[in-house]
Amino acid sequence: MPAEKLKRFLDENNVKYVSIKHSLAYTSQEIAATAHIEGRRLAKTVVIKVNGKIALAVLPASYKVDFDMLKKELGTEDVRLATEQEFKDKFPGCEVGAMPPFGNLYDVETYVAACLVEDEDIAFNAGSHTELIRMSYLDFERLVKPKILRFGRKQKV
């Protein structure tokens, strides 16, 4: 089960969390609706490449990555969406598109949209398309040590 590595890590670090099972869903908006979580309270993990290296961009499900903002924040023009082929082996045990926002577990940099910091808790895919983890944002930040940047733009509905 993909979530076991993550849960073991959380347990080893004495983090309180809730596991939420939901019916099969692929997009972050579908997952939010299925799990009855507001889109802005569900974090989605987007796999990107920065200067040729895989990284994670984490932002609310109701937002999209603004690559112009992200390039400016990172001070480089070499930022783009990663292809599935480029990252499919980087997150062992995880279903493609369901990676948790814990880049530290996979030796990749994690960038978090500043708007996520405002929430008390964070919910995210636990490595599968049928399970979420909800935990304190402060615990997430303490464990992952992400770089907090401004790169999210609310999607038009």
Is residue 137 in a domain?
yes
Is residue 155 in a domain?
no
Is residue 156 in a domain?
no
Q: Give 1's pLDDT tier (boundaries 50, 70, 90).
A: very low
Element (H, E) at 32: helix 28-34
State how far the Cα of 61 lies from the Cα of 40, in Å rounded to an integer: 6
Residue of 152, 157, 154 lying closest to 58 (CA atoms): 152
Is residue 26 in a domain?
yes
Tell me the pTM: 0.92
Give, as one character, the DSSP assignment of residue 83.
P
Q: What is the pLDDT of residue 36?
A: 62
Is residue 157 in a domain?
no
Residues 81, 40: contact at Cβ < 8 Å? Answer: no
Q: Tell me: the pLDDT tens digits for 13-69?
A: 999 999 988 778 777 777 766 676 776 678 999 999 999 999 999 999 889 999 999
Output the domain CATH number for residue 106.
Answer: 3.90.960.10
Is residue 84 in a domain?
yes
Q: Which domain holds residue 61?
A: 3-150
Is residue 42 in a domain?
yes
